[in-house]
């Protein structure tokens, strides 16, 4: 990917930060990882965690809520926006905008990567 991890950005919406503050304990963070799989090639995973690896993780903070991404996953998330969506059938954290993604599935959990992004 062009750019370095030192230039990493992840936009956390106010709604995401508000929901995270409500459900997470004081020492918990929302971990976002990207794994191969899903209907489009890669999938987002969201977990509440208590530990951060200072050598491998990047922590983003907004309004007291913290989100952590490992450096490998950050290659797939740089410049993305994480939000919290409430719908009739489910409510979940979700990546809304991802400049690295070529397309995503309708549920928002899976995506394919633009060829020139990595």
Q: How many domains does the chain have?
A: 1
Rounded CA-CA distance 29/89 in Å is 25
| pLDDT of amino acid 73 | 95
DSSP one-letter string for 78-93: TTEEEEEEE-SS-EEE
Residue 118 lies in a domain: no
CATH number, domain with residue 28? 2.60.300.12
Is the C-alpha dihedral spanning 105, 19, 22, 71 positive or negative? positive
| pLDDT of amino acid 110 | 61
Q: What is the pTM of this model?
A: 0.84
| pLDDT of amino acid 116 | 66
Residue 102 lies in a domain: yes
| pLDDT of amino acid 72 | 94
Domain carrying residue 60: 5-113
Residue 54 lies in a domain: yes
Q: Mean pLDDT, consecutive 10-residue segments, the chain of 118 residues?
A: 63 97 94 82 91 94 96 94 90 89 62 66
Residue 45 lies in a domain: yes
- Among candidates 109, 116, 115, 113, which has minimal Cα distance to 101? 113
Residue 106 lies in a domain: yes
- Cβ atoms of 100 and 113 within 8 Å: the answer is yes
**Burial class for 50, CB neighbours closer than 10 Å (0-12, 13-18, 19+):** exposed
- Among candidates 37, 96, 35, 25, which has minimal Cα distance to 66? 25
Residue 107 lies in a domain: yes
Residue 75 lies in a domain: yes
Task: Quickly count: other Cβ atoms within 10 Å of residue 92's Cβ.
Answer: 15
């Amino acid at each position: 990917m062009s750019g370095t991890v030192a230039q990493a950005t992840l936009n956390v919406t106010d709604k995401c930060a508000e929901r995270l503050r409500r459900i997470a304990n004081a020492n918990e963070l929302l971990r976002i990882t990207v794994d191969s799989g899903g209907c489009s090639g890669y999938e987002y995973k969201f977990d509440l965690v208590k530990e951060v690896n200072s050598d491998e993780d990047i922590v983003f903070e907004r309004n007291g809520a913290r989100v952590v991404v490992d450096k490998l996953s950050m290659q797939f998330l740089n410049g993305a926006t994480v939000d919290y969506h409430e719908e009739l059938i489910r409510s979940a954290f979700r990546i809304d905008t991802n400049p690295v993604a070529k397309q995503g599935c309708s549920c928002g959990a899976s995506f394919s990567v633009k060829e020139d992004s990595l």
